[in-house]
Amino acid sequence: MTASTEETDIHTETLPCGLRIVCTPSATDVAYCGIAVNAGTRDELPDENGLAHFCEHLTFKGTHRRRSWHILNRMETVGGELNAYTGKEETVYYTAFLKEHFPRAVDLLADIVLGSTYPQAEMNKEVEVVIDEIESYNDTPSELIFDDFENLVFDGHPLGRNILGEATRLRQFRSADVCRFASRLYRPDNMVFFVYGRIDPATARRELEKALQRVEASLPQDHPLYGRLSAPSATAQALTDADINRTSVPEYRSREATLDKDTHQAHVLIGTRAYSARDPRHLSLYLLNNILGGPGMNSRLNLSLRERNGLVYTVESNATAYTDTGVWSVYFGCDPHDVAHCRRLVLKELKRLTDAPLDPKSLEAAKRQIKGQIGISYDNSESVALSMGKTFLHYHRTRDIHELYRRIDALTADDLHAVAQDLFQPENLTYLTYH
């Protein structure tokens, strides 16, 4: 299958092995490519907490063709960068480079993602690195509180798990555990290869096919992917959520919790279960969230809590959409004795949005602001590349900024008001406080 759009010349196709490709041209000689895997924290089995992220780290530690040092050195010697991240629903490996080094980048990515050996000796060292990462995270309550909040909102479901896992469990994992996780999820029909740069799609496919052939030639015959990287696959389509054990989330119920973290400052999250990225109401929430506590200094919460009352340094709201659900929240940090006051001010701003629709002037100003922010964000090539890969992985579509603008322009005050009334009622909110 091949598809393209005249407007942006986006090219998509699927290889016989099931690996999907999406290519988008850019204007510079710097290119980005990566492999997005439909495997994240929510795909871990009950005894695998932290394994998705640990697997990401270990993917750089050796393949059937390369040792760890060769992997780390491969793109660096030509000035490129190699990186990865693990999320709740995906793991993404990517590299930035000058476009003439594209064959090198493709070969390396295919090798580490599909041909890693996850050696035990490297695991024994890397586990301490991950544990240091966990401890660093634990020392940052303004970040840690989001994980505890999602665990409340999703009531212990894997989607609410801490991505990094726990030290005790991580030390128990063995190479065989990582291999089982990878064999279940690191499959070509569960991945997307994405390219953002001045790379001809035919060249991209040719180099990718050559890279897959080299990986396959390096695999032992008992490897789960042996014979599946270059030949047509019996499962040559993206796996479904049921195939990869992606369970549905439990029914939401609001709650309140306070945790003693012995912090100088109180940290507070107020929020609720929200909409999936497939839900048409998500765009209304996206705009509402930006009005309420987005990055602009003119957000309503920033004006209320910081500018008018001087109660906080940071206040923000966030809307995160997953494939089948979402979460929305307000975060602020303040002196412990100001928590109640800040909470009242947050609820006051929420009530303003639930009581009446926005007036036409405010709605148009909000649309103009968010469209400007989106346009500026598209100047970040790495962000565009990663977003492209993730969007195509989960939703089988590409991003079109002009279509997004049209959808924002079509939003009405009643659309936003309906979402505010649905989500922002006080009895619908979950509260979490660190003190």
Co-location of 57 and 185 in the same domain: yes
Q: Which of 169, 194, 218 is the last residue of a domain?
A: 218
Could you tell me the strand order of the sheet in which 326-334 lies? 256-259, 430-434, 266-274, 326-334, 312-321
- Residue 37, token pair as written in the block: 């895997």
- Summarize pLDDT for 293-316 with one digit per residue, the tens: 999 999 999 999 999 999 999 999
Confidence of residue 237 (pLDDT cuts 50, 70, 90): very low
Q: Which of 167, 191, 218 is the last residue of a domain?
A: 218
Co-location of 190 and 277 in the same domain: no
Q: Is residue 26 part of a domain?
A: yes
Co-location of 204 and 273 in the same domain: no
Indicate the SS3 state at residue 27. coil
Range of the domain at 96: 2-218
Could you tell me the strand order of the sheet in which 91-98 lies? 2-4, 11-14, 20-24, 191-196, 30-37, 91-98, 81-86
pLDDT of res. 238: 47
- Residue 104, token pair as written in the block: 């090198």
Co-location of 192 and 270 in the same domain: no
Average pLDDT of span 187-215 = 97
Q: Is residue 105 part of a domain?
A: yes
| Type of residue found at 350 | L
Co-location of 84 and 187 in the same domain: yes
Number of domains in the chain: 2
pLDDT of res. 234: 52
Flag whether pLDDT at 245 surpasses 80.
no
Q: Which of 198, 218, 238 is the last residue of a domain?
A: 218
Q: pTM of the full predicted structure?
A: 0.94
Q: Is residue 173 part of a domain?
A: yes
- Summarize pLDDT for 381-403 with one digit per residue, the tens: 999 999 999 999 999 999 889 99
C-alpha 133/C-alpha 144 separation (Å) is 12
Cα dihedral sign, 167-168-171-174:
negative
Angstrom CA distances, 77 to 31, 105, 259, 379, stand at: 16, 12, 47, 26
Co-location of 70 and 180 in the same domain: yes
pLDDT of res. 230: 78
pLDDT of res. 236: 42
Average pLDDT of span 6-32 = 90
Q: Is residue 243 part of a domain?
A: no
- Summarize pLDDT for 106-134 with one digit per residue, the tens: 999 999 999 999 999 999 999 999 999 99
Average pLDDT of span 267-289 = 98
Flag whether pLDDT at 338 surpasses 90.
yes
Flag whether pLDDT at 241 surpasses 80.
no
Average pLDDT of every residue of the chain:
94
C-alpha 370/C-alpha 199 separation (Å) is 31
Q: Is residue 241 part of a domain?
A: no
Exposure on the CB side of residue 276, measured as CA atoms within 13 A = 11
Q: Is residue 240 part of a domain?
A: no
Co-location of 60 and 179 in the same domain: yes
Average pLDDT of span 193-197 = 98
Average pLDDT of span 217-223 = 94
Q: Is residue 116 part of a domain?
A: yes
Q: Is residue 17 part of a domain?
A: yes
Q: Where residue 86 sits, what CATH number does that domain have? A: 3.30.830.10
- Contact predicate 393/18, CB 8 Å: no
C-alpha 435/C-alpha 423 separation (Å) is 26
> Measured in whole angstroms, how far is the alpha carbon of residue 93 from the centre of its chain?
12
Co-location of 121 and 36 in the same domain: yes
